[in-house]
Structure 1
Amino acid sequence: MSFKSLGLSDNLVKAVSAQGYENPTPIQAKSIPPILEGKDVLASAQTGTGKTAGFTLPLIQNLAKKPPLRNRPVRALILTPTRELAAQIYQNVKDYSRFVDLRSSVIFGGVNQKSQVATLRNGVDILIATPGRLIDLNNQGLLSLRSLEILVLDEADRMLDMGFLRDIKKIMGLIPKQRQTLLFSATFSKEIRNLAGEFLKSPVSVESTPENTTVEAIQQQVYRVAKEKKTDLLIKLISEGNWEQILIFTRTKHGANKLAKKLESANINAAAIHGNKSQGARTKALAGFKDGSVKALVATDIASRGLDIPLLPFVVNFELPNVSEDYVHRIGRTGRAGASGLAISLVSADETSFLRDIEKLIGDKIPMDILEGFEPDPNASTKPFNPQQRGRKPSAHSGNTKSSGNKSGGQRPRTGNSRPNSKKSWR
């Protein structure tokens, strides 16, 4: 199967080929044809499946069929939960629209709006945005969505997790009822189906190959360890394994900051990335991680979504997520495109139930080990982590808070001597 056979124009096929892609992924093959036909689409697609091209390519072609409107009002809006993902999608749109007469732009919070407003005034056909900045500019009368033809809700499940439902509904009230709507989500949860039922018209449902196939391609390892020994164990693994470019997940922003500082104290160049960091700091940390000046990037779940880091070799769950699907999202950052990937989880007693839920989801037991000197506390409680114990509101992602229209919060690679009786009471 080729991109041409899906109905894409020569200009789009040429743009895709220029990026080094010749054959569509499963989600692209399933989503591109109905989108080209103008149908609403409800798609389940995980990170790393090529979903962005699955909606941007047909969106670009549908817009390019008509000549640009006078003053170029926004005709397509791609709504996304995080700044990093918005920037990544914007780059994809620019790459794929290079041979057609369309203008695109991206807007998000955390930076001065002046340049964004100037770009909008010059005319934009395709706008990629985070909810907070979009609503803010609309409230100031600096943005109109009255000419919108296509709406994309990308990573809709994450937007709901981050508390953006009210913002989404407000944005829906700003756009024409006659439009094409595309909703992409990692899962078809009850909340996502309710959202689709409210805003999509007779949508075509498409699903990519289950993420478990990606999980099976990644080497996974669990280390049982006392909670207070996790940092020292992580430092040992990184140092003795000579690991480079490690993405480390924590549950909270405070935890990410604290761990990054401890790694720095151990002469491991590290940086934290989360919603409380300025956009400049987040961009700098990511750039350092990509060029190798930052060896370890410590991130929360939401801040990590949309990070464009190809061929990432190591992922460490410093803390397991309490939502099993997030484990799959995390380790899916590695082992892509046939490359080897290692995902390690440091598991303390209070994360026992989280581990069991994860293994149930992926349908497999993860190899478990204990390193000498880092044994778990046999007397530690296996009672699950409780966000309320730290004065935080319980949520699907503990530690997340909403700020300036964006929320960010949340969180892991193998060596050592195994112990034959180390698994009792953990299964």
Structure 2
Amino acid sequence: MRVLFTTLPGYGHAYPMIPIATALRDSGHDVLFCCAPGFGRVIGQHGFATRPSGIDYRVGQEAGLVPSWRAARAAGDRSYPYTGKVLVEFASAAMLPDVLRTAESWRPDLIVRDAVEFSGCVVGEALGIPHATGRDNRFLSPEIWRAEAGAELDALRAAVGLPPDPGCAMLYRRLGLVSMPPSFVSAVGPDAAPDAREFNVHVSPTMRFVQPRVTCDPAPALPDHLVNGDRPLVFVSLGTIIRDDDLLDRIGATARTLGVNILIAVGPQSEGANTPRPQVTFMARVPVEEALRRSAVVITTGASGLTVMALSLGKPVLTVPLAADQPINALRCEALGAGVRVSPQAPTAEFAEALGRLLHDPAAAAAARAIEAECRALPTPDQAVGLLADLVAQGGTGI
């Protein structure tokens, strides 16, 4: 098979799909990614060819490129239709011409898309190519999709000669792969979703849950004092978009009080910007899987990527939710008994109390191990390849 992946230019968008793309390649299939020009280097680190598609930006930079979103953020307007205006009208529409040209010339048998990259499914519908989603963290019902982005999705379809899709059936018409445990999605109900317009709990009948796998950039090994030290290790990452030195300082200040080593991932752009303190290590490039496996507790914003990776390895999580899917994921971790939520404005003492509780709570450790066992029981990425092959064999009509 030839499989074309389409993704927005963000680690949390592309990296959950890398294990599936790798399994496809290892099974002898041809894989190609369409992504923003500058993001090709990120994908290329994993051995995949890319085609530049759309404009050159990174997820997190949209406010500088979409004036209406910039104004809404400045005004604190929570009613702004982000999904329709930014994800569809800005990001996906910019990719559409390039993805269409790539599909017409490369002639893939299947398109696998990031769940919030919509040119992939529109091109698939226009050219009669089966399409699937390779990751999801939104879990919106068709009704919410329609309310939030229906007009923009119909405009995207019209650009390639497709009729309107009043029920947003295109989005869940075929297979959707979800690299997280089902219990994580269902841990909270729709009424508890902090931002139900953007992140919810709908699971389509066409979705299939598969094992999450750790995906990260190449990195040096952990320092010896973290590997062979006698203190518990706490791994901290605020992700690739957010940078908050004051928050990191408050978290780092708990190290001596609790008798732990704290490893803080700061990203290559911040290399050398932090002053080391006793028992706190800053790394620009972290071997994420090794750090997770050696950690007693993981501190994250609650973004689905690292949060699910940590839980899949049986690690309790302390979440510091800031935006996007982080608030609902923080609630999920608490509901499952595998996490504690702390406000990003909390003082050091509150971080120390919450972290100390997780370090010494056998119930939280047991809950995290139960999620790890649930993840291990899910189909592997290799088995997901079989689901994708079946979709193609059935002409795109099966799930």
TM range (shorter): 0.3 to 0.5
Asked which structure has the greater RCO (Cα within 8 Å, sep 6+), the reply is: 1
Q: TM-score when scaled to structure 1?
A: 0.36
Q: Which has the larger radius of gyration?
A: 1
> Which one has a larger percent helix, Structure 1 or Structure 2?
2
